[in-house]
Chains A and B, each alone.
Chain A
């Protein structure tokens, strides 16, 4: 039995960072597990459509995060993985259930180190649901719907179309948010609602994951909100400056506003649905177990060693996001 509380065990929340539509609550931890290399230690290539071959060239095992995506500059079909995995040190492994993310692009990715992304948030739930599907075209329709929702031409199942069109806006997210000391993960909010939880084994690993997560994954959702909602929800608690006449008063007003924001962060975390996930085991490598978890609010994957959570990546389910107002409404009382 696993709950969100179990997933977040050993971490503590940092101060919320809030800019425009996006908010980030850093998750920090004194438990640093430095045994794992990040995906940039992998040599990657594709050998047929839907098949990605990884060569772990490091001496440490590599945690392959959920929805790792390669969008390369070569004339090649870009690919995304639909689930997480673990590669042993110096291991070569072929994944045949990857998804092509450019509908009409031909060519294979040449072997080498490529910069990686994480699938945009609106595609992740669908990708996870199709993780066992062997069709290389399994995400084209979802990408096409997503592109069209973002104002790009209909019928285009090209992830690159979205990434190129919104390149500057996505870059901005990277500059807006910053990592703090001992950060190993984050609770991601868009427009005041929790949309994702990310946890990694160490600060070093997290730093490699931060840009792909904030830029391509959650940045894409924030952009979608920018289109759909004319004004962001103000998550900042304004300072109460009535009666402020000295510097000490002003400092107290700032501290009070900060305290209210801390309270808000705690409330957000308390509100996370703490019921048990349904669990499906995907694979076991060495002592590490890859599992897919789902409940009403979140769906995602974890990598555990025994009961210890090393990696977790959850996204809010489409149904939960759609009915967020209902879920957040208070119960009936008289």
Chain B
């Protein structure tokens, strides 16, 4: 990464003068950013939640739009949060960008956020942008650059054709979109100089580097509604298969399942069954579909290839609990832990991890072993971040040293004392918060460490289990705020929040904002 790639903090005076207000606005935002999903919950309906979220977003953006953009780029923020931040920042003029980020850096953060979203959410966001009639130069640039530089552009054109068409027409405008569509009916060799210049000016200027112009233009042509060139089909095999599958069902083998199934039900319903679609397109199945197919294949006694790289660490641990740990899974878990660790900001160099592996970490039978799997994934990630000693509380290490199965009662106090042996700078207790041997002993030990031994070790409680009775997560001690972390990604958010709160408690907002920028720079580099 060069100097020009780094997001720099410009003018921080505005945030500094806001003082405590800035701290409140930012922590409120971070609290919501990990959980807001735009869906109703048990306690709140969708409209009420949206209103509450909008208010928190408004306050932080009013304080400083740069901080607002940086905060959304934190690890673990939900896609809904990212969508909302992109929309709000695009809807307000970039000229108003005054504060911690320059207009160009803010644009780069927007691009980063957009690239973090899965394609279906990106196109959903583009629909929202269109509905909100946001169509300034930055928006057009963001949309066009995102679509035209995507490695999977032809695949997206096939899978999200209508949505992409609408996005292109919004970004280009109706007139230019019609011109581009008409020009693209001609093959490259048939276009005159004026037409080539128009394509260059309307489209190709958004393409970074020397990419395959023909493939990009063909995908664009297909998305805009063309079925090929005048008198000939597309050269790209996926696009031509999509067009040909209407009359030649064998071509459907190249298409995504949903697209092929749509074509089958419309053009081949009388002679081809949906089972055949599944069979033909099995190799193109996405991650979620693969899972579904895996179960189906097992029932039918078919062996399917399992690629551990496609699953996150929690899913891999669940898989290992069920089928056993293989060398391949172990290696993938280590790689994933190292990769997640690179995006985390941990200030402590020497830490201890107390891993609650008591029986209650088994979780509910509907999601058996998920709390334990999450705890193990978080353990790996923390261990990859710093020099760490792991102390088990309960549990049973069976067939593989990484795989700890839940067992026994919860006597965390002894484990905390064991963890203190090496005088770590921080102790991370990963636990569901249900202590019973006896309840309250951990609190006594922490109180004694702080008040009698006067040690400055920081205690953090990471809780992978939501508790209805605690209206959030269960607390082990009033001296430790429990951090709800349901995935490795959520760990980044929790860690950053912990550190931010420490800076804010010291009245050091500036350091907090720099932490956000550093965290983003690390992720961009990773």
Residues of chain A at the chain B interface (Cβ within 8 Å): 14-20, 26, 168, 172, 175-181, 235-236, 238-239, 241, 244-247, 250-251, 253-254, 257, 261
Q: For residue B449, which residues in chain A have a CB less than 8 angstroms away from its CB?
A: 250
Contact residue among A20, A176, A251, A261 (Cβ-Cβ distance under 8 Å from B417)? A251
Q: For residue B359, which residues in chain A have a CB less than 8 angstroms away from its CB?
A: 178-179
Give 1 or 0 for each of B347-366: 1 = CB within 8 Å of chain A CB.
00000000000111000000
Give 1 or 0 for each of B2-22: 1 = CB within 8 Å of chain A CB.
000000000000000000000
Q: For residue B436, which residues in chain A have a CB less than 8 angstroms away from its CB?
A: 17-19, 176-178
Task: Compute how far the CA of A181 lies from the CA of B406 in the bound complex, rounded to whole angstroms.
Answer: 11
CB pair A250–B453 under 8 Å, yes or no, is: yes
Chain A residue at minimal CB-CB distance from B362: A178
Known contacts A16-B438, A235-B438, A178 near B448 by CB under 8 Å: no
Q: Which 6 A-B pairs have the closest CB atoms?
A: A178-B359, A18-B438, A17-B436, A236-B438, A19-B439, A244-B452
Task: Compute how far the CA of A246 lies from the CA of B448 in the bound complex, rounded to whole angstroms.
Answer: 10
Chain A residue at minimal CB-CB distance from B469: A172
Q: For residue B448, which residues in chain A have a CB less than 8 angstroms away from its CB?
A: 239, 241, 244, 250, 253
Q: Pick the interface stretch among B183-191, B205-213, B249-257, B407-415.
A: B407-415
Q: For residue B358, which residues in chain A have a CB less than 8 angstroms away from its CB?
A: 178
Task: Compute how far the CA of A148 lies from the CA of B370 in the bound complex, rounded to whole angstroms.
Answer: 39
Chain A residue at minimal CB-CB distance from B423: A247
Query: Is B142 positioned at the interface, with any CB of A under 8 Å from its CB?
Result: no
Contact residue among B417, B421, B468 (Cβ-Cβ distance under 8 Å from A168)? B468
Which parts of B411-454 form the interface with A (CB within 8 Å)? 411, 413-414, 417, 420-421, 432, 434-441, 444-445, 447-449, 452-453
Which parts of B449-499 form the interface with A (CB within 8 Å)? 449, 452-453, 468-469
Task: Compute how far the CA of A179 lies from the CA of B394 in the bound complex, rounded to whole angstroms.
Answer: 11
CB pair B437–A254 under 8 Å, yes or no, is: no
CB pair B414–A254 under 8 Å, yes or no, is: yes
B471 CB to nearest chain A CB (Å): 12
Known contacts A18-B437, A251-B417, A181 near B408 by CB under 8 Å: yes
CB pair A20–B453 under 8 Å, yes or no, is: no
Q: For residue A180, which residues in chain B have a CB less than 8 angstroms away from its CB?
A: 407-409
Residues of chain B at the chain A interface (Cβ within 8 Å): 358-360, 394, 407-411, 413-414, 417, 420-421, 432, 434-441, 444-445, 447-449, 452-453, 468-469
14 A/B residue pairs, CB under 8 Å, sorted by A: A16-B438, A17-B437, A19-B438, A175-B434, A178-B358, A178-B359, A178-B409, A180-B407, A239-B444, A245-B452, A245-B453, A250-B417, A250-B448, A254-B413
CB pair A168–B469 under 8 Å, yes or no, is: yes
A-B contact count (CB 8 A): 86
Contact residue among B414, B417, B435, B437 (Cβ-Cβ distance under 8 Å from A247)? B417
B463 CB to nearest chain A CB (Å): 13
Q: For residue A17, which residues in chain B have a CB less than 8 angstroms away from its CB?
A: 409, 436-438
B53 CB to nearest chain A CB (Å): 27
A34 CB to nearest chain B CB (Å): 19
Task: Compute how far the CA of A243 lies from the CA of B447 in the bound complex, rounded to whole angstroms.
Answer: 14
Q: For residue B445, which residues in chain A have a CB less than 8 angstroms away from its CB?
A: 239, 250, 254
CB pair B439–A20 under 8 Å, yes or no, is: yes
CB pair B439–A236 under 8 Å, yes or no, is: yes
Q: For residue B420, which residues in chain A have a CB less than 8 angstroms away from its CB?
A: 247
Known contacts A247-B417, A254-B413, A254-B445, A241 near B452 by CB under 8 Å: yes
Task: Compute how far the CA of A247 lies from the CA of B358 in the bound complex, rounded to whole angstroms.
Answer: 25
Task: Compute how far the CA of A20 lies from the CA of B448 in the bound complex, rounded to whole angstroms.
Answer: 22
B477 CB to nearest chain A CB (Å): 14
Q: For residue B452, which residues in chain A have a CB less than 8 angstroms away from its CB?
A: 241, 244-245, 250
B167 CB to nearest chain A CB (Å): 46
Q: For residue A244, which residues in chain B have a CB less than 8 angstroms away from its CB?
A: 448, 452-453
Chain A residue at minimal CB-CB distance from B439: A19
Task: Compute how far the CA of A179 lies from the CA of B435 in the bound complex, rounded to whole angstroms.
Answer: 13
Chain B residue at minimal CB-CB distance from A244: B452
Chain A residue at minimal CB-CB distance from B417: A251
Task: Compute how far the CA of A261 lies from the CA of B445 in the bound complex, rounded to whole angstroms.
Answer: 16
Contact residue among A168, A178, A250, A253 (Cβ-Cβ distance under 8 Å from B410)? A178
Contact residue among A26, A175, A257 (Cβ-Cβ distance under 8 Å from B360)? A175
Chain B residue at minimal CB-CB distance from A210: B359
CB pair B437–A16 under 8 Å, yes or no, is: yes
Q: For residue A14, which residues in chain B have a CB less than 8 angstroms away from its CB?
A: 409
Chain B residue at minimal CB-CB distance from A169: B469
Chain B residue at minimal CB-CB distance from A246: B453
Task: Compute how far the CA of A246 lies from the CA of B435 in the bound complex, rounded to whole angstroms.
Answer: 25
A246 CB to nearest chain B CB (Å): 7
Chain B residue at minimal CB-CB distance from A22: B436
Chain B residue at minimal CB-CB distance from A18: B438
Task: Compute how far the CA of A17 lies from the CA of B436 in the bound complex, rounded to whole angstroms.
Answer: 5
Chain A residue at minimal CB-CB distance from B406: A178
Q: For residue B408, which residues in chain A have a CB less than 8 angstroms away from its CB?
A: 178, 180-181
Q: For residue B360, which residues in chain A have a CB less than 8 angstroms away from its CB?
A: 175-176, 178
Q: For residue A18, which residues in chain B have a CB less than 8 angstroms away from its CB?
A: 436-439
CB pair A15–B421 under 8 Å, yes or no, is: no
Q: For residue A250, which residues in chain B have a CB less than 8 angstroms away from its CB?
A: 417, 445, 448-449, 452-453
Task: Compute how far the CA of A151 lies from the CA of B358 in the bound complex, rounded to whole angstroms.
Answer: 35
With A16-B438, A19-B439 given, name 13 new contacts (CB 8 A): A18-B437, A18-B439, A19-B438, A178-B358, A178-B410, A179-B359, A238-B444, A241-B447, A241-B452, A244-B453, A247-B420, A253-B448, A261-B438
CB pair B453–A247 under 8 Å, yes or no, is: yes
Task: Compute how far the CA of A5 lies from the CA of B71 in the bound complex, rounded to whole angstroms.
Answer: 64
Known contacts A178-B410, A179-B359, A254 near B438 by CB under 8 Å: no
Task: Compute how far the CA of A235 lies from the CA of B432 in the bound complex, rounded to whole angstroms.
Answer: 22
Q: For residue A246, which residues in chain B have a CB less than 8 angstroms away from its CB?
A: 453
Chain B residue at minimal CB-CB distance from A251: B417
Q: For residue B440, which residues in chain A have a CB less than 8 angstroms away from its CB?
A: 236
B444 CB to nearest chain A CB (Å): 5
Task: Compute how far the CA of A16 lies from the CA of B417 in the bound complex, rounded to whole angstroms.
Answer: 20
Task: Compute how far the CA of A180 lies from the CA of B395 in the bound complex, rounded to whole angstroms.
Answer: 10
Known contacts A16-B437, A18-B437, A239-B448, A254 near B417 by CB under 8 Å: yes
Task: Compute how far the CA of A176 lies from the CA of B452 in the bound complex, rounded to whole angstroms.
Answer: 30
Task: Compute how far the CA of A218 lies from the CA of B407 in the bound complex, rounded to whole angstroms.
Answer: 22
Chain B residue at minimal CB-CB distance from A241: B448
Q: For residue A20, which residues in chain B have a CB less than 8 angstroms away from its CB?
A: 439
Task: Compute how far the CA of A200 lies from the CA of B439 in the bound complex, rounded to whole angstroms.
Answer: 27
Q: For residue B421, which residues in chain A have a CB less than 8 angstroms away from its CB?
A: 247
Task: Compute how far the CA of A26 lies from the CA of B436 in the bound complex, rounded to whole angstroms.
Answer: 12
Q: For residue B409, which residues in chain A have a CB less than 8 angstroms away from its CB?
A: 14-15, 17, 26, 177-178, 180
Task: Compute how far the CA of A250 lies from the CA of B450 in the bound complex, rounded to whole angstroms.
Answer: 12
